[in-house]
Structure 1
Amino acid sequence: MKLAIFTDTFTPQVNGVARTFQRFAEYLDEKKIDYRFFVPETEEDLFSTQIFRFSSLPFFLYPECRLALPNFIHIKKELEKFQPDLIHIATPFNMGLTGLAYGKKLNIPIVGSYHTHFDRYLEYYDLQFLSKFIWRYMKWFHSSFQKTFVPSLETKSELERKGFANVHIWSRGVDCQKFHPHFPSNRLREQYNIKAPFLLSFVGRLAPEKDLDILMTIAHQLPEGIKEKVHWLIAGDGPLLEKLQKEKPHNMTFTGYLKGEQLAELYAASDIFVFPSTTETFGNVVLEAQACRTAVIGAKAGGVQEIIKHEETGLLCEPKNIESFVISICRLLDNPTLLRRMELEARKYALSRSWDAIFADLLLQYNEVIEHNLHDKVANM
């Protein structure tokens, strides 16, 4: 099997799509499957004979996702030389459009994946009027794919309601060796001078679509008896950082962007991971927190509601309902036995989410498409 993958976001950009495809590239290397990635450029020198980078500009709704400026002659030449069995398109922007055009022109089977509810972002930027145009474009864009992969049942249902066909689940995994609970218990507390007995955390892009206004209100409205016992650690970067720092309560610290061991240690040190975002198609950070044996309180919305098992690995709250989140936080902090049980169940659940199994299933779905196309070619001879 030879694969060509087109995406407008890839390492070292920081988002779930980029990290997922970086992990996939590593898996393909391990399995000795030949591939070519067509991705945006980076300021870092990340040379690879299998990854082709092109000039790009930031996408205004999501600067971490780039709008690539493809070199069409170069891409066509590489595809004709490589002769992939299948093209996977990850994003609906310039690079994705290029993959779509050449897949059709060169008669290569095409699949795609849907990662981001861009239409849900619009209300956070007062651009709701664009929603119907985005859905119309997305439906057209995905209509040429023999399969469209989505990370959750909620997303699958949403696309099918909008008239998308051939929608299939490609879930997400977590590296439980990288994200684990076994860190020195006091190191992070000493680093940030945390004296409070309980640590609450959030990890993600600091942008409106993450419902950070809800998070800040939750922090301010915790009962005084609880508020004085907790400290918040907010990890991430984004356009709201300066505003949030001005509005933060005294018991909140912004760590900036964290990755690797530092990120895993933050999850592991947390008593509760609080994630109010309602726009997630999956919610990778939720699964990472669970892998670090941390209970999660999240919104009953999007893909997050499928990762958190209510009353088992954490609690689900009514979306954007401040009181629901406040009550849930108080309940777990007042009940250490329940919290401990949820922590153990969270880690147990994360251990069942193997990247290898998830990628192996994706390859099986690729094979179905490739074999179907071979069958059609033979039938038409």
Structure 2
Amino acid sequence: MRIAIVAESFLPLMNGVTHSILRVLEHLQERGHEVLVIAPSTQDSDVPDVVHGAQVHRLPSVPLAGYTNVRVAMGGVYRVKRILADYAPDVVHLASPFVLGWRAVQAAHQLGIPTVAIYQTEIPSYAARYGVPFLENWAWNRVENIHLLATRTLAPSTFALNQLRGRGIPRVDMWRRGVDTARFAPEKRDGGWRAAVAPGGERIIGYVGRLAIEKQVEDLAALADVPNTRLVIVGDGPQRAALEEALPNACFTGFLGGEELARAVASFDLFVHPGEFETFCQTIQEAMASGVPVVATGRGGPLDLVENSRTGWLYEPGDLSGMRAHVMDLMGDDAKRRAFAAAAHASVQGRTWPALSAELVRHYREVSALPTQTSVSRSGAVL
């Protein structure tokens, strides 16, 4: 097939959206598909023009205020329409569409090219966290318009699927995320790494992710004085300085990737994720594949990933005393923690990226085989 992937964010920025795109590109390259990636420009001169066999077309962009490593593509619908018309793809993959994705879904619709929109980021709910709650309704209106126009929407979790359907979005199917069970594995646990970050032999409570407001990493302060533990924060972002001040006894490793990340995650004793706005939460899957039990908020993607009293614990959003109680429960019982770890590891086996990518290609083929692109307006009229 000939596929255009429109990426709201892409290399060199590493996040959940970029990670998913890279895994999909690997699969598409291995199977001989032709791919064009359309993404915001970057000021990093070392970023390649071809990634896993896909040509990358960069659009002029500006940094997002307060988050300078995030770039927002400029230009209108016509610019994207011209690129798509020249490339003539069988299908357009919209990766977490919002700004660039809104232009792309309009352009593809005008050209009669089917679209598969990947709902991955709950952007509207970020509004209150960033101090602009009055923008939440506008943001939901944008999300709804994109997915109403898309030929098919793919949601990563039951929560996200029901959320979109509840807002009147039609043609929504489930598409979860894969995990690299060779890279993330219990065998990567490293006693030397543990000794370096917890020299007193403490048990390690770990977090991996962007250090941004929506991740609510500051909630981990509720765990600061759990006996005989060391809090280790893996990741970077605009909140790092504030978090280092708020969590003075935590170890901040900065961004880790590749085998460094795999070693760090496998070396945790417990993984805690406090964010409430995860449509999936890939880092939870990676922790479980590494044989690490999880404590997470009972909202969004974690509801599908964490089985209470078996692979970890879920707590009510905002209930930090509940989070702390679950952490204390697992930190104070080695046998229980080991049992949860084994169950967590077993629960994600088989969720490979090749299997999930093959499922995605099936969606591509199905929408490209439709006689015409069908879209429905808010009133229910066919567009």
Fold shared, TM-score > 0.5 on shorter chain = yes
What letter is aligned with 1:100?
A: V
Sort the Cα spacing of 1:352 and 1:309 in 2 relative to 1 into closer, same or farther, 3 A: farther
Is 1:241 the equivalent of 2:237? no
Alpha-carbon offset, residue 41 of structure 1: 2.1
Is 1:135 the equivalent of 2:135? no
Residue 116 of structure 1 aligns to a residue in which SS? coil
Residue 153 (structure 1) aligns with: 158
Residue 45 (structure 1) aligns with: 47
Residue 111 (structure 1) aligns with: 116
Percentage identity across aligned positions? 30
Q: 1:208 touches 1:240 (CA, 8 Å); kept in 2?
A: yes
Q: 2:189 touches 2:266 (CA, 8 Å); kept in 1?
A: no
- Cα RMSD, aligned residues only: 2.1
Sort the Cα spacing of 1:72 and 1:131 in 2 relative to 1 into closer, same or farther, 3 A: closer
What letter is aligned with 2:49?
A: F
Alpha-carbon offset, residue 375 of structure 1: 10
Residue 187 (structure 2) aligns with: 182
Mapped partners of 1:70, 1:179: distance in 2: 40
Alpha-carbon offset, residue 234 of structure 1: 0.5
Mapped partners of 2:264, 2:20: distance in 1: 21
Is 1:12 the equivalent of 2:12? yes
Alpha-carbon offset, residue 315 of structure 1: 1.0
Residue 12 of structure 1 aligns to a residue in which SS? coil
Alpha-carbon offset, residue 340 of structure 1: 0.7
Q: 2:198 touches 2:204 (CA, 8 Å); kept in 1?
A: no
Q: 1:245 touches 1:254 (CA, 8 Å); kept in 2?
A: yes
Residue 364 (structure 1) aligns with: 362
Alpha-carbon offset, residue 73 of structure 1: 7.4
Sort the Cα spacing of 1:103 and 1:211 in 2 relative to 1 into closer, same or farther, 3 A: same
Number of aligned pairs? Answer: 369
Alpha-carbon offset, residue 114 of structure 1: 1.3
What letter is aligned with 1:30?
A: E
Is 1:217 the equivalent of 2:217? no
Is 1:54 the equivalent of 2:49? no
Paired residue for 2:85, among 71, 80, 86? 80
Alpha-carbon offset, residue 213 of structure 1: 2.5
Query: Deviation above 6 Å: which 4+ runs of structure 1?
Result: 71-74
What letter is aligned with 1:14?
A: M
Mapped partners of 1:284, 1:214: distance in 2: 20
Residue 378 (structure 2) aligns with: none
Alpha-carbon offset, residue 75 of structure 1: 5.0
Mapped partners of 1:255, 1:280: distance in 2: 23
Mapped partners of 1:82, 1:239: distance in 2: 37
Sort the Cα spacing of 1:342 and 1:79 in 2 relative to 1 into closer, same or farther, 3 A: same
What letter is aligned with 1:28?
A: L
Alpha-carbon offset, residue 162 of structure 1: 1.3
Mapped partners of 2:128, 2:334: distance in 1: 38
With the length of structure 1 as denominator, give the TM-score of the two structures: 0.91
Mapped partners of 1:68, 1:338: distance in 2: 49
More displaced, 295-304 or 4-13?
A: 4-13
| TM-superposition CA deviations, 1:92-124 (whole Å, max 9, x none) | 344323322331232211221211111211111
Residue 186 of structure 2 aligns to a residue in which SS? coil
What letter is aligned with 1:13?
A: L
Sort the Cα spacing of 1:91 and 1:330 in 2 relative to 1 into closer, same or farther, 3 A: closer
Residue 117 of structure 2 aligns to a residue in which SS? strand
Sort the Cα spacing of 1:278 and 1:61 in 2 relative to 1 into closer, same or farther, 3 A: farther
Residue 255 (structure 2) aligns with: 257
Residue 304 (structure 2) aligns with: 306
Q: 1:204 touches 1:235 (CA, 8 Å); kept in 2?
A: yes
Sort the Cα spacing of 1:323 and 1:93 in 2 relative to 1 into closer, same or farther, 3 A: closer
Residue 334 (structure 2) aligns with: 336
Query: Unpaired segments of 5 or more residues in structure 2?
Result: 375-383
Sort the Cα spacing of 1:375 and 1:123 in 2 relative to 1 into closer, same or farther, 3 A: closer
Alpha-carbon offset, residue 169 of structure 1: 0.9
Mapped partners of 1:99, 1:39: distance in 2: 11
Mapped partners of 1:129, 1:79: distance in 2: 34
| TM-superposition CA deviations, 1:135-179 (whole Å, max 9, x none) | 122211221111111111101111111111111111101111111
Mapped partners of 2:157, 2:350: distance in 1: 16
Sort the Cα spacing of 1:74 and 1:212 in 2 relative to 1 into closer, same or farther, 3 A: closer
Sort the Cα spacing of 1:117 and 1:74 in 2 relative to 1 into closer, same or farther, 3 A: closer
| TM-superposition CA deviations, 1:165-217 (whole Å, max 9, x none) | 11111110111111112136322123335213311111111122112221112
